[in-house]
Amino acid sequence: MGTTQLESVPEPKYWHLRTVLSEALDSEFAVGEILPNERDLAARFGVARATLRQALEQLELEGRLQRRRGVGTTVAPPRVGVAVGSEQHAWPGGPEDAWQPVDCVLAVPPAAVAAALETGADEPVHTVRRTRMTHGQPVAAELLHVPRSSVPDLSAIDAPSGAARARALLRELQRLELEGHDSAVELGSARADDAKELDRLPGAPVLIVTTRFLALGRTAALSVATYRADTCRLTFGDFGGVEIHQDPQRQAS
């Protein structure tokens, strides 16, 4: 590897270094390959190690790098394409559903959830907790809120708690005729419980997908799914598999 000095630029040095490193990852390194140590990288690019760390942390946030304890910093695989589009017009828990149920509790939901479900402020609802794994790693965690009126025949005796109760509720939900659903996506920060589920630090960037399921002329269920922003690429509609590889910054320059 030759020596590459950074030119004087108006943008922050760490951000310019991030761009140079990103280009090096594309041209010089393979997925899973271990990067040289910080001392060698800092010498190659003629920057302080503090600047280098900032650039590496930024690339880690973007999902380009992975820091593995006892191994070092490696080149991350491409983002996982996670379909959340409307082409699958079905209730959660159907045969094609990639989520795994973990638990189900009956409790009073947050005020915003109660308002969306149009339930009383102190009325308990069923909350199913589910996770989504890809290649053995967690990529998303979900809370599915279901009013008791949507599953009036659910038997707590047959499935008192845990994943069994969650599966029973999802089966009961299939009895309703789904009239439609809509979704919204926003960028957020991982809360402590989500961070633990997703093997991230609290405050890590996440994508939050809120989906409202409609039946009997009302909101019959509300899903709040939190996806890891560093590993997931959400896709929508019948053409969700399309990928754009060009860096928008390079395109604009």
Task: Give per-residue pLDDT as tens, 48-60.
Answer: 999 999 999 888 8
Question: Does some domain include residue 3?
Answer: no
* Edge-to-edge order in the sheet of strand 180-189: 100-107, 125-134, 137-146, 218-228, 205-215, 180-189
Question: Does some domain include residue 175?
Answer: yes
Q: What is the pLDDT of residues 148-167, one digit of tens each?
A: 999 998 876 566 678 999 99
Report how many domains make up the chain. 2
Question: Does some domain include residue 251?
Answer: no
Whether the predicted pLDDT of 253 surpasses 50: no
For residue 83 the two structure tokens come to 């379909």
Question: Length of the chain in residues, anyone?
Answer: 253
For residue 202 the two structure tokens come to 């609290």
Q: Which of 14-18, 74-78, 138-142, 167-171 has the lowest mean pLDDT?
A: 74-78
Whether the predicted pLDDT of 251 surpasses 60: no
Q: Could you tell me if 54 and 84 lie in one domain?
A: no
Q: Could you tell me if 84 and 43 lie in one domain?
A: no
Q: Could you tell me if 179 and 94 lie in one domain?
A: yes
Whether the predicted pLDDT of 199 surpasses 90: no
Q: What is the pLDDT of residues 222-237, one digit of tens each?
A: 999 999 888 887 777 6
Residue closest to 124 by CA, chosen among 98, 145, 142: 145
Which residue has tokens 């880690």?
60
For residue 109 the two structure tokens come to 């939901």
For the chain, the helix, strand and coil percentages under 3-state DSSP, each to the nearest 5: 30, 30, 40
Q: Could you tell me if 136 and 19 lie in one domain?
A: no
Question: Does some domain include residue 7?
Answer: no
Question: Does some domain include residue 158?
Answer: yes
Question: Does some domain include residue 157?
Answer: yes
State the pLDDT at residue 1.
Answer: 47
Mean confidence (pLDDT) of the chain? 83
pTM of the model: 0.71
State the pLDDT at residue 128.
Answer: 95
More confident residue, 67 or 223: 223
State the pLDDT at residue 192.
Answer: 87
Q: Residue 70 to residues 29, 42, 74, 213, 236: CA-CA distances in angstroms?
A: 20, 21, 11, 45, 38
- The whole-angstrom distance between residue 51's C-alpha and the CA centroid of its chain comes to 28
Mean pLDDT of 11-32: 88
Q: Could you tell me if 65 and 140 lie in one domain?
A: no
More confident residue, 236 or 139: 139
Q: Could you tell me if 153 and 53 lie in one domain?
A: no
Q: Could you tell me if 51 and 155 lie in one domain?
A: no
List the domain range (segments joined by +) for residue 144: 80-235
